[in-house]
Amino acid sequence: MAQAIQTKVEGDTLHIFMNVARLDASAAASLKDQLQFTLDPSVKRAEVDLDGLKFIDSSGIGLLLSIYRKLPAEGAEVVLHNVDPAVLSVLELLRLHRIFKVS
């Protein structure tokens, strides 16, 4: 079985590629285990590719917020790429588009 999350660090940016269709309670627990990374203090930005993600619940939101919390407080930025309209509507409903930059 392929890894559902792949990560790569380039300069001050952590790139995260999620290969899941649903980010719900059952998926978020195993993904959080796969996402155990130690951030170098120079990493200030995370870019998360959500291509293929069609559904997210509170556990999935918690996973995205945990990525944000692992970044240093000053100058931290999380950019979400390839966000499905259904996922975007959840982010906007929770006003998380103010925390995450959606592109």
Provide the residue ranges of all domains of the chain, joining segments of one domain with +. 5-29+44-102
Per residue in 37-87, pLDDT (tens digit) is 656 677 889 999 999 999 999 999 999 998 898 888 788 899 999 999 999
Confidence of residue 3 (pLDDT cuts 50, 70, 90): low
Residues β-bridged to residue 79 = 47, 101
Question: Which DSSP letter does residue 18 get?
Answer: E
CA distance to 11, 27, 29, 30, 99, per residue, from 1 (Å):
30, 14, 17, 13, 33
Domain spanning 5-29+44-102, CATH architecture: 2-Layer Sandwich (3.30)
> Which run of H or E residues covers position 89?
helix 85-93
Q: What is the mean pLDDT of residues 8-20?
A: 90
Question: Which DSSP letter does residue 97 get?
Answer: G
Confidence of residue 1 (pLDDT cuts 50, 70, 90): very low
Rounded Cα distance between 18 and 20, Å, is: 6
- The pTM for the full model equals 0.88
